Structure 1
Amino acid sequence: MSATFIFFIVIALAGLGYVAARHRALATVEGDRRSLHSLPNYYGMNAALAGAGPALVLLVAWLILQPLVLNSLVASGLPDEIAQDSGERSLALADVRRVAEGLDAAVAQGVMTEADAANMRAESTNIRDVLAEVGVALGSDVDPTTLQLAQQYRDYAGIGNILLIIAVIAVACLCIGIAYRMTTKDFRARNYVEQAVKLLLIAAASVAVLTTLGIVLSLIFNTIEFLSRFPAMDFFFGTRWEPSFSGRGGGSDLGFLPLIWGTLYISLIALIVAVPVGLFSAIYLAEYASKTVRSVAKPLIEVLAGIPTIVYGLFALLTVGPLLLDVFGKDGALGVTWMTGGTAAMTAGLVMGVMLIPFVSSLSDDIINAVPQAMRDGSLGLGATQSETVKQVILPAALPGIVGAILLAASRAIGETMIVVLGAGAAASLSMNPFEAMTTVTAKIVSQLTGDGEFDSPETLVAFALGMTLFVITLGLNIIALYIVRKYREQYE
């Protein structure tokens, strides 16, 4: 039975509890609602929340912990040379889970019976053909140990699922029964419901904090592991990026400086494009445009923010890159050879700048409109023209908020990936020429985590170090931007 089906069973039980508790509350006062402490619906909600809340918490906790327990049980059957190496153990357990899922799919699709799956032997059956038939691909043949552990994994998972169903339904029924027994005319159902809703809101508010904490911890631990295997000075101050994965021979140069240079360089080009265009469009829409023009132009500008970044990347690769090559290439219109290929920092920067225009424009427009109208009227009343009012009154008053908007756009540019992958190339370079291929931190994070490299090698773990460094940079920009914006809003609200 799937977790979704169990979820709907719990919801159905909660609905029954709602109806039963509400009916009991009315029955205790013979239908006279005025004699109840709370409205009848609160008694029903109390029973529904009492049943659904603990049961769903148990369901989520069980789904999180069960794979960990199963991995621990299965790992005890791995050979010692594999179990002692964390990387090899992870790969072996991944193979066990894939085989187990493949056997489950084969049984579900009727390819084999449950008895065949339980009695299958690696030496007598081509497991790969059976798994391929149900869409599970393996990188190598299934050895007897892996197949045996996969069968054990299925057995343990089956027992765990049965216990899960029993435990969740039992908890839901027990809690609904307790809430039903507590339902009397003097029971303060409203207070209990409001407290439960308050806890729900606190849990929802905690999700963002806990998610951020989880991301930071995962990056920190893997970054520490990387720095224990690769010199920190060579990483932070190295000027060459030449990773060499296992099997290719040679050492790796994992210098961070070429990547952060490419990131900042491309982001700078993007901001040079986005800031003037976005700011000028915001000034026009806020101070000069009529209501009709504003109602049409503002949504059209904001449409740019909804375009997927992969589309921007294709636009950079297929349109902007060849166009720049026609102008700055060997046989270009200017007769100079500044650009040798369509992928370059300028290509990605220009397209990224177009993507950032709505970020700068919308935020700046809201900030300019937040400037009190009295400041405009006072300036115009003293004889200043509208342009002088914009330059000498509105923009200085809105400057802190505009700076915050620019910093937020900068953090968005630093974290962009797809436009860089398709438009800037893959060369880690410290060049000042914007028409040469460059790459960024985010692009290399993607490349380092894809492929056949060992997960615990420095060449793979470096992706977490890059992510941690980039996280610190963007977090700092966001904190500065939010501080400036909040300070501005406190001043003019």
Structure 2
Amino acid sequence: MNTLIVIVFALVILGFAYQLGLSRSKSIQATTGKRMHSRPGHYGMLVLLWCLIPAAIVYIVWLIVEPMIATSIINSFLPPDVAADSGEVIRSTQRINSLVSGFGVAGEVRPYERAAAEQLSTFHLIARMALIAMVAAAAAAGALYARGRISPTMRARNQVEGFIKIVLITCSVIAILTTVGIVLSMLGEALRFFTYINPIDFFFGTTWNPRFSSVGSSNQGEFGLLPLLWGTIMITIIAMLVAVPVGLMSAVYLSEYAGPKLRFFAKPLLEVLAGIPTIVYGFFALVTVGPFFSGLGALIGLQVQATSAFTAGVVMGIMIIPFVSSLSDDIISQVPKAMHDGSLGLGATKSETIRKVILPAALPGIVGAFLLAVSRAIGETMIVVLAAGNSPVLTANPFEAVSTVTVTIVNQLTGDVDFASPQSLVAFALGLTLFVITLGLNVVALHIVRKYREQYE
């Protein structure tokens, strides 16, 4: 059955359930003359939830049970010699499923595969009809049960809000557990890496030369983090030197000086930069910006490589401008107008009001926008892959090629690699290092926000 048809059908059923509860609550109030505890919409939403939840439970249970039944059907047709070999079982199962789906298989179809495919097709047809019937029955039963419970004293609003609260808590828990799972997975692999390489050599080493070798070989290379970390920091600093002044000044102009018509057109055009794919920025840096800076440097007697930290930082700063500008503009616009008018009323000029009233009041949010931009710059990959030069050397010259942590992660996990070797496991140690850095930035941002928020509340 087409997915769009299923979605439309489900929305129609849910809309009908909502109207069922809505009309029932209005009918009871008109018949009894008693005031209902909640608004009619709450009763409609309650019936909708009682229609949705049982149907969703039936559907989820069926999604779990159906593959088990299908597997048992396939296994019942497998000959004993095939069933004894796990590899043959997997291959036969794939061939049977391909026959059922209509894709076909290579080679001659064996009799037991054809019989299993026919039986499985029949099962899927019956299962699909049974699933529709069970879901519809569960939805109808839940809706009728909820409709029958509607009364003037029923606290529908409390029940609906309680369900929404449970959903919000569940989403929060999922987000937290996802973060914890990512950290634990990186931590486990990073600890495996540190069984090969001394942590001191990794965190304080100045040479990055991971010679690819087999596990157990003594020629494992050098894994010094400092060249990669410094390359990341250098490019981030250059990007912020471009993005922060331009973004902040743009935000101040749009919020304080620009007229409504200019703001209506200028802000969306500025935010278009945030929608351009980063690979486009990388290609732009490689083909246009890098050669331009190289030629410009040659005119003034300065050697500038086309692929360098400077090129990557400038293009990355251009990409980050919308993050700084849009967030700062929203934050400046939220400063109470009374503070703005009070400053002007006391005789301050517009520029003095911006410098001494508006910006200090909006400072916590602006700092948060800056640190968000820094986190975005630290985690950027495609621009530095194409424009930074991928040269993991420790240099203070921004016009030379460098490498970053994210580029190195890509390099270590691509190609035909052994994921048990330190050359691959180092990617998890690098990822964990990036996580700690961004976490530190968030902690600093939270501290600054709390400090200045107390001052202006």
Specify if TM > 0.5: yes
Deviations 1:188-215 (A, max 9, x none): 4836445434433433444433332332
Question: 1:234 aligned to 2:201?
Answer: yes
Kindly tell me: are residues 186 and 292 of structure 1, through their superposed partners in 2, closer, same or farther at Cα, counting changes over 3 Å?
Answer: closer
Aligned position for 1:420: 384
Q: CA separation in 1, counterparts of 2:260 and 2:16? A: 53
CA contact (8 A) 2:244 2:324 kept: yes
* SS at structure 1 position matched to 2:399: coil
The alignment's TM-score, normalised by the length of structure 2, stands at 0.75
Kindly tell me: are residues 172 and 343 of structure 1, through their superposed partners in 2, closer, same or farther at Cα, counting changes over 3 Å?
Answer: same
Pick from 424, 430, 433: which aligns with 1:469? 433
Kindly tell me: are residues 5 and 64 of structure 1, through their superposed partners in 2, closer, same or farther at Cα, counting changes over 3 Å?
Answer: farther
CA contact (8 A) 1:241 1:256 kept: yes
Deviation of 1:360 (Å): 1.9
Deviations 1:267-289 (A, max 9, x none): 00101111122222233333333
Q: CA separation in 2, counterparts of 1:285 and 1:18? A: 44
Q: CA separation in 2, counterparts of 1:70 and 1:465? A: 42
CA contact (8 A) 2:213 2:220 kept: no
Deviations 1:312-344 (A, max 9, x none): 11111110011112123xxx21234x234x211
Q: CA separation in 2, counterparts of 1:236 and 1:104? A: 50
Kindly tell me: are residues 379 and 173 of structure 1, through their superposed partners in 2, closer, same or farther at Cα, counting changes over 3 Å?
Answer: closer
Aligned position for 1:52: 52
Question: 1:334 aligned to 2:300?
Answer: yes
Question: 1:347 aligned to 2:311?
Answer: yes
Aligned position for 2:254: 285
Q: Which amino acid aligns with 1:443?
A: V
Q: CA separation in 1, counterparts of 2:340 and 2:16? A: 61
* SS at structure 2 position matched to 1:434: coil
CA contact (8 A) 1:11 1:52 kept: no
For residues 123-142 of structure 1, what are the structure 2 equivalents within 5 Å? none
Higher mean C-alpha deviation, range 302-311 or range 194-203: 194-203
Aligned position for 2:186: 219
Kindly tell me: are residues 61 and 204 of structure 1, through their superposed partners in 2, closer, same or farther at Cα, counting changes over 3 Å?
Answer: farther
CA contact (8 A) 1:36 1:185 kept: no
Aligned position for 1:322: 291
Give the number of equivalent residue pairs: 438
Q: CA separation in 2, counterparts of 1:381 and 1:365? A: 23
Q: CA separation in 2, counterparts of 1:63 and 1:283? A: 54
CA contact (8 A) 1:343 1:437 kept: yes
Pick from 262, 265, 276: which aligns with 2:231? 262
Q: Which amino acid aligns with 1:109?
A: G
CA contact (8 A) 1:18 1:48 kept: yes
Deviations 1:433-477 (A, max 9, x none): 111111211122222222221233322222222112111211221
For residues 428-439 of structure 1, what are the structure 2 equivalents within 5 Å? 428-439=392-403
Kindly tell me: are residues 466 and 377 of structure 1, through their superposed partners in 2, closer, same or farther at Cα, counting changes over 3 Å?
Answer: same
Q: CA separation in 2, counterparts of 1:389 and 1:194? A: 44
Aligned position for 2:109: 116
Q: CA separation in 2, counterparts of 1:172 and 1:196? A: 22
Unaligned runs of 5+ in 2: 72-85
* SS at structure 2 position matched to 1:244: coil
Pick from 156, 176, 181: which aligns with 1:190? 156
Q: CA separation in 2, counterparts of 1:69 and 1:471? A: 43
Q: CA separation in 2, counterparts of 1:358 and 1:408? A: 12
CA contact (8 A) 1:279 1:364 kept: yes
Deviation of 1:303 (Å): 1.9
Q: CA separation in 2, counterparts of 1:399 and 1:178? A: 52
Deviations 1:71-100 (A, max 9, x none): 9xxxxxxxxxxxxxxxxxxxx99x997996
Q: CA separation in 2, counterparts of 1:64 and 1:261? A: 49
* SS at structure 2 position matched to 1:184: helix
* Identical residues among aligned pairs (%): 49
Pick from 306, 327, 332: which aligns with 2:275? 306
Q: Which amino acid aligns with 2:416?
A: D
CA contact (8 A) 2:214 2:421 kept: no
CA contact (8 A) 1:404 1:480 kept: no
Q: CA separation in 2, counterparts of 1:239 and 1:156? A: 61
CA contact (8 A) 1:14 1:176 kept: no
Aligned position for 1:104: 97
Q: CA separation in 2, counterparts of 1:464 and 1:427? A: 20
Unaligned runs of 5+ in 1: 72-91, 121-151
* SS at structure 2 position matched to 1:431: coil
Pick from 362, 366, 373: which aligns with 2:326? 362
Deviation of 1:2 (Å): 9.9
* SS at structure 2 position matched to 1:199: helix
The alignment's TM-score, normalised by the length of structure 1, stands at 0.70
Question: 1:405 aligned to 2:330?
Answer: no
Deviation of 1:356 (Å): 1.4
For residues 389-400 of structure 1, what are the structure 2 equivalents within 5 Å? 389-400=353-364
Deviation of 1:115 (Å): 9.3
Q: CA separation in 1, counterparts of 2:93 and 2:348? A: 77
